Amino acid sequence: GTLKRKNETEEEKEIRLKQLTGAVTTILECLGEDPNREGLLKTPERYAKALLFFTEGYEKDINEVVNNAIFEEDHDGMVIVKDIEIFSLCEHHLVPFSGKIHIAYVPDKKVIGLSKVARITEMVSRRLQIQERITKQVCDILEEVLQPKGIAVVMESSHFCMVMRGVQKTQSCTITCHTTGIFKEDIKLKEEFLR
């Protein structure tokens, strides 16, 4: 399973890459392509490496990502980190989706290093995912590490499974939101964040 990737040795990583490269070769053959033609000679390994990069979130641990960047602080106003660019792979079709995530929280004596907010988002999105789960997982992780008065996470994305196949709607945008604590209770605070 995916949990194995966290503790793999270099030798195990090489075996995984080799297996994935072979699988990509098989996919090319099933598509009717010749993996030995000039343009495709190195494609299986390149694509295998790309897939491992796109899903490197499976190798990350939240403690490693946060790296003790939680600080005691009396700030009690809203903290907003907007326009964090993300990309992920749709778990249903294995095609990309990309967009932006916006995060707000009201601290309860603890704040997090701002770059860690982006790194948490990256860890969660670099997996086979759906947008709704990313939104909730980012919120849940921040809730766990900060225990704030409340969190709001909004994500807007374009899904290539809707753009390139199926309904083929190139301008569509999907928006998801997950809130906790004070953001559920205080509509004005939520509206201020969403502005």
Q: Which residues are known to be catalytic?
A: 90-93, 131, 159, 161
Cβ(184)–Cβ(150) below 8 Å: yes
State the alpha helices, DSSP H only, in the chain: 10-30, 43-54, 62-66, 114-125, 131-146, 160-163, 182-185, 187-194
DSSP 57: G
Cα 47 to Cα 65: distance, rounded to the nearest angstrom: 26
Contact 165, 93 (CB under 8 A): yes
What SS3 class is residue 94?
coil
